[in-house]
Amino acid sequence: ATPTALLVGTGRGAQLGILIKGPEVLESTRRVDTVVLDKTGTVTTGHMTLQEVYVAQGADEKDVLRLAGAVEHASEHPIARAVAAGAAKRLGAALPPVEAFENVPGRGVRGLVEGQDVEVGRLASRPLPEALAAAKETAESEGRTAVVVTRNGVALGVLTVADAIKETSAEAVRRLRALGLTPVLLTGDNERVARSVAAAVGIDEVIAEVLPEDKADVIRRLRDEGRTVAMVGDGVNDAAALATADLGLAMGTGTDAAIEAGDLTLVRGDLRVAADAIRLSRRTLTTIK
């Protein structure tokens, strides 16, 4: 009877918008007690837009936008898309070309623009002028991601980007809690931004400023603490963590790498369905017993 019951569970899953890699996947969900949620693209939409432009004393706003936009134009990162599109729009002009482009995952980008060495992100922990540091902290504590723009190693300005929290995220967290699960927010983004997003959706536990290659280690550490961990993610950055978790749930709206690494796919990218998936597999297993 076991295989039939599992297949029924799998069929119901498809109706709910859950793709299950194999019936055996349902087994690992039973003991899950912790659900790690990636921030960008999972709890938030991941569609960022450029907001404030803070300019260092003596620098020009147009230079900040042009140089940062030019370097970010070469990157696919959601921050990069927001900066490049926002800069081109505000300048009303095409961005200059970039040479020697370099992407440093989890940190930012750099390249040569108009013969100058330009960096955008959190590449180096250079001291920022006080006014810029204050503006950056305010934006971060309000949930906006701030990146520093430097020219030849000198801070030119700070750009902030906003990413909307998905309408369904707070309800999803409530449903996970109702199942007795502890939600954890995991992100490469700044601690203040992460805290702000976590507070808005009802998450207490935050693990921030984690480099892409360290996300799987975080999952391993939680498992070493004796927790049984489900991970929900969408990005290329999340693939190793999804594979390391006891249960990997990929957003169907995310990257192929994440979908391949996950045990379950939430077809519509609706986080509420993560809770439904866990409830469904528990019920299916109860039926079997």
Radius of gyration of the chain, Cα coordinates, nearest whole angstrom: 21
CA–CA–CA angle 106, 101, 207 (5° rounding): 5
Cite the DSSP H helix spans in 114-168. Answer: 130-141
- Smallest distance from the beta carbon of 46 to ligand ADP, in angstroms? 8
Q: Which class for 65: exposed (0-12), middle (13-18), buried (19 or more C-beta within 10 A)? A: buried
With CA atoms as reference, report the closest residue to 158 among 73, 242, 51, 278: 51
User: Quick check: is 217 catalytic?
Assistant: no
User: Measuring CA to CA, which residue among 167, 166, 204, 170 is closest to residue 185?
Assistant: 204
189 is a site residue for Mg ion (CB under 5 A): no
Q: Which of 237, 244, 253, 284 binds ligand ADP (CB under 6 A)?
A: 237
* Contact flag: residue 183 with Mg ion (CB under 5 A): no
Least distance in angstroms from the C-beta of 152 to Mg ion? 32
Q: State the catalytic residue, choosing from 33, 38, 217, 263.
A: 38
Q: Is 244 in the site for ligand ADP (CB under 6 A)?
A: no
Q: Which of 169, 184, 283 is nearest to 229 (CA)?
A: 184
Cβ proximity to ligand ADP: between 129 and 212 the closer is 212
**Nearest-5° angle of CA 30, CA 286, CA 251?**
45
Which residue reads 């045990």 in tokens?
263
Instruction: Based on the shown chain and the rule CB under 6 A, indicate whether residue 212 belongs to the binding site for ligand ADP.
Output: yes
* Among residues 69, 121, 235, 248, the one that binds Mg ion under rule CB under 5 A: 235
Residue 41 found at the interface with Mg ion (CB under 5 A)? yes
163 scored as a contact of Mg ion (CB under 5 A): no
* Residue of the chain from 29, 42, 145, 253 that contacts ligand ADP (CB under 6 A): 145
50, 65, 109, 261: which one binds ligand ADP (CB under 6 A): 109
> Mask: binding to ligand ADP, 71-90, rule CB under 6 A, as x and -?
-x--x-x-xx----------
Which 10-49 positions form the footprint of ligand ADP (CB under 6 A)?
A: 39-40
Residue 146 tokens, joined: 């701030």
Q: Could you list the beta-strand ranges (E) of the chain.
A: 18-20, 34-38, 44-55, 99-104, 108-113, 116-121, 145-151, 154-165, 182-186, 205-207, 229-233, 247-251, 264-266
| Active centre residues (catalytic) | 38
Applying CB under 6 A, which residues contact ligand ADP? Answer: 39-40, 72, 75, 77, 79-80, 106-109, 120-122, 145, 147, 187-189, 212, 235, 237
